[in-house]
């Protein structure tokens, strides 16, 4: 990588880690807004998935007291179906159209939820959770934006802050592991990407640590509102041509 591009590359890694530590997701949106200006889309997706392994692993360790494996199981099983499909579609889809569609979904959901702060939690069973897992995994394999659909669903279920984060972080980690295997099978992982990954990882972990420090200061209501505002911003960025 050109020396002049190293600074924005590393800055993107730190900011991505900061967001991941604070919210538990959306690291891919942050780094893509910077990296896609000088990194090919497929390489960007592979880097995001690789960095997700580290940031989510750290988050799970911090929230291990709130882990509930039976709650997370249907999402993991669904993701195991969706991720390979998304990775396969990666070479056939138009990433601009996909991101615009996801952005519109995020904008509509966040605006509606911010306008109606009081809501009745959704009651759902194993099948519905597994279906969400499939969609979440498909989007992750296709774009590297692992966890967005699951975050929305966890909020709709009305789970407490730590339970919500612990659930979607263990699922995101499992999906990232599956995605790495799927992308490796497609030949998307190269030695050059490995070098970039080793450059990005230290600053991303420092950012994740700092983000978790901020997360600890948010109560339930503040955390939900912060996620909705960030989803709104993310949706706008995804819809604006050239932003990501």
pTM listed for this prediction: 0.78
Q: Are the C-beta atoms of 168 and 25 separated by less than 8 Å?
A: yes
Any domain includes 230: yes
Any domain includes 244: no
Structure tokens at 13: 């890694």
Any domain includes 78: yes
Residue 242 CA: distances (Å) to CA of 2, 95, 129, 234: 21, 12, 34, 14
Phi-psi category of 120—alpha, beta or left, where left has phi over 0 and alpha has psi -120 to 50? beta
* Rg value, the chain, Cα: 17
Number of structural domains in the chain: 1
What is the mean pLDDT, run by run of 10 residues, along the chain of 244 residues?
Answer: 81 92 84 84 83 89 88 90 81 76 85 78 90 87 76 86 88 80 73 88 94 90 86 82 59
176-218 confidence digits (pLDDT tens)? 787 777 777 777 677 888 888 999 999 999 999 999 999 989 8
Structure tokens at 179: 């995605």
Residue 120 CA: distances (Å) to CA of 94, 100, 181, 205: 36, 29, 38, 36
For residue 182, the enclosing domain spans 3-239
Any domain includes 41: yes
Any domain includes 145: yes
Any domain includes 121: yes
The pLDDT of residue 241 is: 63
Any domain includes 48: yes
């Amino acid at each position: 990588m050109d020396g002049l591009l190293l600074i924005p590359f590393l800055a993107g890694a730190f900011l991505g880690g900061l967001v991941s530590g604070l919210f538990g997701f959306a690291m891919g949106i942050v780094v893509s807004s910077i990296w896609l200006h000088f990194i090919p889309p497929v390489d960007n997706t592979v880097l995001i998935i690789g960095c997700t392994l580290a940031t989510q692993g750290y988050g799970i360790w911090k929230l291990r007291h709130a882990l509930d494996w039976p709650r997370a199981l249907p999402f993991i099983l669904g993701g195991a179906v969706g991720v390979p499909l998304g990775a396969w579609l990666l070479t056939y889809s138009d990433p601009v159209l996909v991101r615009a569609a996801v952005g519109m979904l995020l904008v509509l959901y966040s605006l509606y939820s911010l306008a109606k702060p009081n809501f009745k939690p959704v009651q759902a069973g194993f099948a519905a959770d597994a279906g969400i897992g499939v969609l979440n995994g498909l989007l992750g394999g296709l774009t590297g934006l692992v966890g967005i659909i699951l975050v929305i669903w966890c909020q709709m279920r009305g789970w407490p802050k730590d339970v919500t984060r612990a659930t979607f972080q263990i699922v995101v980690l499992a999906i990232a592991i599956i995605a790495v295997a799927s992308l490796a099978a497609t030949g998307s992982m190269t030695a050059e990407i490995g070098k970039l990954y080793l450059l990005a990882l230290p600053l991303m972990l420092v950012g994740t640590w700092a983000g978790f420090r901020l997360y600890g200061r948010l109560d339930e209501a503040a955390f939900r509102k912060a996620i909705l505002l960030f989803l709104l911003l993310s949706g706008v960025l995804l819809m604006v041509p050239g932003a990501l």
